Structure 1
Amino acid sequence: KLRAHYRKQQCLYCSVSGSRKLIIICKSYLSELMDSGSEYGDFSDYEDEGDGLPNGLAMHSMVTEPERDIYSSFQKRECFQFVPRANSPRICCCNRSAAWHASKAAAAAAVTDITDASADTLSRTARLPKRWTVDGCTATTRTDAYGVLRFENFEFTRLGQNAKYIRLDCLNSRPNLLWKLLTKTWRIPEPELIVSVTGGAKKMRPMSDKIIKKLRQGIINIATKTNVDRDWRFQPWHKQACREAIRDYQLAGGSERDVVLIGVCPWAPCATKNDLPVSTYRNPDNTAPVKGQAVLEPHHTHFLLCDDGTESMFGAEIDFRASFEKKVAEQMVRRRSRGDGSDLRSVTPCVHLIIEGGRKDVQAALVSVETGSPVVVVKGSGRAANVIAYICENTELERYEIEAITEEHFSSEFEPNSSEMRSLVDWLMKLAEPDYQRMLNVYDAESMDPNEQLDRVILTTFLRQTSLSVVTQLNMAMAWNRPDLAAQEIFSSERKAKWEQLTGRDLEYSMLRALARNQTEFVSLLFDHGINIGTLLNLETLAGLYSSLINKPDPQMMRLREQLDYLSSPLSSWLMTESKTVGYATHNESQTAYQERLLRAVGLYVSAKSGGVLRSPYPRRDRSSYQAEDLLIWSIVVQRTDMARIIWRQTSDTIASALVSAMMLRNMKSLAESEGSLEASAQLGAAADSFEGLAAGVLATCYAQDKQKTLDTLVRRLPVWDGQTLLTLADQG
Structure 2
Amino acid sequence: MFVRVSVDSKPEALLQLMLREWQMDRPKLLFSVHGGSENFTLTPKVKQAFTKGLITAARSTGAWILTDGINTGVSKYVGEAVKTFGGHNLRKRNTVGVTPWGVIDNNTDLIGRDVFRPYQPLGNPLSKRADLNSFHSHFLLVDDGTLGKYGCQEGVRKKLEKHIQLLKIHPRFNQRVPMVCVIVEGGPAIVSTVLDYVSNNPPVPVFVFEGSGRAADLFAFLHKHTDSDSLIKALSICFRQLDADIKEGFLLRIGEVFGVDRKEASRLCALLLECMDHRQSVGERTIRFDLFTIGRKSKMHFYFTLRVSDNHL
TM-score category, normalised to shorter length: 0.7 to 0.9
Q: What per-residue deviation string (whole Å, max 9, x for no partner) do you get for residues 431-483 of structure 1?
A: 12145775110011x21123x4245235425634xxxxxxxx4xx3xxxxxxx
Q: Say whether residues 1:188 and 2:188 are aligned partners.
A: no
2:90 counterpart residue number: 256
Find the counterpart in structure 1 of residue 187 from structure 2. 358
- Output the CA distance in 2 between the equivalents of 1:323 and 1:295: 24
| Mapping for residues 91-106 of structure 1, pairs under 5 Å | none
Distance 2:272 2:58 in 1: 31
Q: Distance in 2 between matches of 1:368 and 1:383?
A: 19
* Structure 1 residue 386 displacement after superposition: 0.9
Amino acid at match of 1:359: P
Q: Secondary structure at the match of 1:351?
A: strand
Give the structure, 1 or 2, with the largest relative contact order (CA under 8 Å, sep 6 or more): 2
State the 1:210 CA deviation.
2.3
Following superposition, the deviation at residue 307 of structure 1 comes to: 3.7
Give the structure 2 partner of residue 386 of structure 1.
Answer: 217
Which letter maps to 1:196?
S
Contact 1:387–1:406 under 8 Å retained in 2: no
Residues 581-616 of structure 1, C-alpha deviations (whole Å, 9 max, x = no match)? xxxxxxxxxxxxxxxxxxxxxxxxxxxxxxxxxxxx
Q: Structure 2: how far apart are the matches of 1:272 and 1:407? A: 41
The change in CA–CA distance for 1:434 and 1:270 in structure 2 (over 3 A counts) is: same
- Kept in 2: contact 1:402–1:428 (CA 8 A): no
Percent same amino acid at aligned positions? 25
Paired with 1:165 and 1:407, the residues of 2 have a C-alpha distance of 44
Q: CA separation in 2, counterparts of 1:308 and 1:388?
A: 33
Deviation at 1:360, TM superposition (A): 2.2
Find the structure with the greater CA-based Rg. 1
Determine if contact 1:326/1:373 at 8 Å carries over to the other structure.
no
CA contact (8 A) 1:374 1:461 kept: no
CA pair 212-404 structure 1, distance change in 2 beyond 3 A? same
Q: How does 1:677-716 map to 2 (within 5 A)?
A: none
| Other-structure match for 1:513 | none
> Which residue identity lines up with residue 65 of structure 2 in the other structure?
R
TM-score (normalised: structure 1): 0.36
Quick check: 1:267–1:306 contact (8 Å CA) kept in 2? yes
2:297 to 425, 431, 449: 449
Q: Structure 2: how far apart are the matches of 1:357 and 1:415?
A: 14
2:276 is aligned with 1:432: yes
Deviation at 1:406, TM superposition (A): 5.6
Match of 1:220 among 22, 40, 55: 55
The Cα shift of 1:327 comes to: 1.3
Q: What residue number does 1:245 align with?
A: 81
3-state DSSP class of the match of 1:424? Answer: helix
Quick one: distance in 2 between partners of 1:455 and 1:402? 36
1:649-728 equivalence runs, <5 A: none
Contact 1:334 1:348 in 2 (8 A): no
CA distance in structure 2 between the partners assigned to 1:437 and 1:269 by the alignment: 39
| Equivalent residue runs for 1:281-680 within 5 Å | 281-285=119-123, 287-288=124-125, 290-291=127-128, 293-336=129-172, 344-371=173-200, 372-395=203-226, 396=232, 397=235, 398=239, 401=246, 404-405=249-250, 407-408=252-253, 410-411=255-256, 413-417=258-262, 419=264, 421-435=265-279, 438=282, 439-444=288-293, 446-450=294-298, 452-457=299-304, 459-461=306-308, 463-464=310-311, 473=312, 476=313
**1:433 to 1:320, Cα distance in 2 relative to 1, 3 A:** farther
Is the contact made by 2:90 and 2:135 (CA closer than 8 Å) also made in structure 1? no
3-state SS in 1 of match to 2:170: strand
Q: How far apart are residue 262 of structure 1 and its match? A: 0.3
**Alpha-carbon separation, structure 1, partners of 2:155 and 2:251:** 23
CA contact (8 A) 1:330 1:348 kept: yes
CA offsets 1:21-71 (integer angstroms, 9 cap, x no match): xxxxxxxxxxxxxxxxxxxxxxxxxxxxxxxxxxxxxxxxxxxxxxxxxxx
In structure 2, relative to structure 1, the CA distance for the partners of 1:360 and 1:434 (3 Å cut) is closer
Q: How far, CA to CA, are the matches of 1:316 and 1:436 in structure 2? A: 33
Aligned residues: 284
Q: Which residue of 2 aligns with 1:559?
A: none
Structure 1 residues 406, 301: CA separation in 2 closer, same or farther (over 3 Å shift)? Answer: farther
The equivalent of 1:33 in structure 2 is none
Distance 2:57 2:199 in 1: 25
Cα offset, 1:329, TM superposition: 1.2
Matched-pair contact (CA < 8 Å) for 1:269–1:314: yes
CA shift for structure 1 position 196 = 0.9
SS, match of residue 66 in structure 2: strand
Q: CA deviation at 1:314?
A: 2.4
Q: Which amino acid aligns with 2:210?
A: K
Cα distance in 2 for residues equivalent to 1:203 and 1:349: 29
RMSD: 2.8
Kept in 2: contact 1:192–1:231 (CA 8 A):
yes
